[in-house]
Amino acid sequence: MPRLAHFRAKREASMLRLDTTPILHVDMDAFFVSVELLERPELRGQPVVVGGQPNRRGVVSAASYEARRYGIHSAMPLRTAGKLCPHAIFLDGRHDLYAEWSDRMATILSRFSPVVEMASIDEAYLDLSGTGRLHGPPLAAAHALLTEIGAQTGLPCSAGLARTRLVAKVGSDQAKPRGLVWVPAGAEAKFLEPLSVRRIPGIGRVTEAALRAMGIETVGQLAGIPEERLQEFFGRWGTALYRKAHGEDSYEFIVDAEPKSISHSHTFGSDTSHRPALESMLSCLCQKGAQRLRDACLDACTVTLRIRYAGFRTVTRSKTLSEPTHLDPVLLATLRRLFERHWEQRPVRLIGIEFGRLSHGVNQMGLFDPEWREKLERLARATDQLRDRFGFAKVQFGGSLGCAKDH
């Protein structure tokens, strides 16, 4: 799993603006449906809806392109979808399965760039700058990446390649299904101009209605409105709108994306009750989580251990730390104690960790910090630097040796 939040912590908005290196937005097409179709290929070409049965409460999580032709879309009540297309195939969601495939996709993405931000379970941003010698120019890399995902997973996906995250995202949306849209630097305005304002991420029904009242329907029209005027109408949101209309990332877009928790899990190929294997995996997951904490300049205050046994019973146990930290040994010691106390000595299917109650505070040094803390800080910084260059598995604590693969 690549490192969430890496992007926002290490790249400032101003750098994104000046950097002409393209940003790639990868978005899986009808992700949940596509995953289901892998297991049930006989449903291909039929209207498929994931989320639950149409006679029950709930909303559509994903709909195949065939189902979308009947007007079905995500977040629509299942009953409504059932009325629109009674002969559609309705499937219950299996989120663990989707998460597993999402991890696989993330693994492939991280081969193409060290800077990957998983924006959600089925989409990610990559910064391809500096990867030229490995993967060729960004467009070639993007093509190779899409081919690779197709070959490795059989899942369809689309991508947008552009100077900014916003244009890349709009691009991947336009590219669907199974497409790649490249918006060269300088061509953003022309690309965005004819699109409806709703295509811009962050513009929903409310803003759309407000804009329509001003006689604005396309991004081109929006881009023609002076910033001051938008500010007058929308306040700070107006500034963001202005930037979005010009294809720039708005600050709000980046700042809002702060993670609330960081989690990692591993599903064993076959269930295991081998203690060393479990402890080793725990160490590996902890190190990955700790590194993501540091990348995002965050400290965690709660540590959670998740164990799923064969037969799917899942146990979740948390512990609150006396003070927030991002240091591997402190976090791991807590996880080990949780594991020691709560593992039922039975075969485990999945083991996972989560760091929660995140706060910024990494940089404040303490008066009564023992000497070992500063040493661990230096160790962590050195480790992170090495991993940035050579990959996660190249430097690790002994406890996870043989466990951490390079992903």
* Helix (H) / strand (E) containing 319: strand 314-325
SS3 211: helix
Provide the minimum distance between the beta carbon of 198 and other proteins in the complex, in angstroms, as a whole number: 27
368 touching other proteins, by CB under 8 A: yes
* Ranges within 246-265 binding other proteins (CB under 8 A): 251, 255
Residue 374 touching other proteins (CB under 8 A): yes
Q: Counting contacts by CB under 8 A, is residue 364 touching other proteins?
A: yes
Which of 57, 213, 270, 323 is close enough to bind other proteins by CB under 8 A?
323
CB 240 within 8 A of CB 214: no
Contact yes or no for 147/179 (Cβ under 8 A): no
308/139 Cα distance (integer angstroms): 41
**Shortest Cβ distance from residue 173 to other proteins (Å)?**
27
- Piece of the chain touching other proteins by CB under 8 A; list 52-60, 260-268, 316-324, 341-349: 316-324
- Residue 322 lies near other proteins (rule: CB under 8 A): yes
Between 66 and 299, whose beta carbon lies closer to other proteins?
299
**For residue 160, what are its two tokens?**
């947008």
Listed ranges 97-105, 166-174, 363-371, 392-400: which one lies at the site for other proteins (CB under 8 A):
363-371
With beta carbons less than 8 A apart as the criterion, state whether 317 and 342 touch.
yes
**Catalytic site residue from 123, 188, 248, 279:** 123
Q: Which is nearer to other proteins, 360 or 405 (CB)?
A: 360
Q: Is 365 in the site for other proteins (CB under 8 A)?
A: yes
232 noted as active-site residue:
no
Backbone angles phi, psi at 100, to 5 degrees: -60, -45
303 CB contacts (<8 Å, ≥6 apart)? Answer: 318, 319, 321, 331, 334, 335, 338, 353, 354, 355, 356
320 binds other proteins (CB under 8 A): yes
Could you tell me where the beta strands, DSSP code E, fall in 121-238? 123-127, 157-162, 180-182
Query: Taking the complex as a whole, how short is the minimal distance between the CB of residue 321 and other proteins, in angstroms?
Result: 8
Which residues does residue 40 pair with via DSSP β-bridges, in sequence order? none
Give whichever of 227 and 377 is closer to other proteins, judged by the CB atom: 377
Stretch 22-81 residues interacting with other proteins (CB under 8 A): none
Q: State the Cα–Cα distance between residues 234 and 114, nearest whole angstrom.
A: 37
Which of these ranges, 161-169, 182-190, 193-201, 353-361, lies near other proteins under the rule CB under 8 A?
Answer: 353-361
Q: What is the 3-state secondary structure (H, E, C) of 75-89?
A: CCEHHHHHHHCCCCE
CB of 363 to other proteins, least distance (A): 4
Q: What angle do CA 246, 249, 255 make, to 5 degrees?
A: 150
Give me the active site residues, please.
123
Residues within the interface to other proteins (CB under 8 A):
12-13, 251, 255, 320, 322-323, 359-368, 374, 377
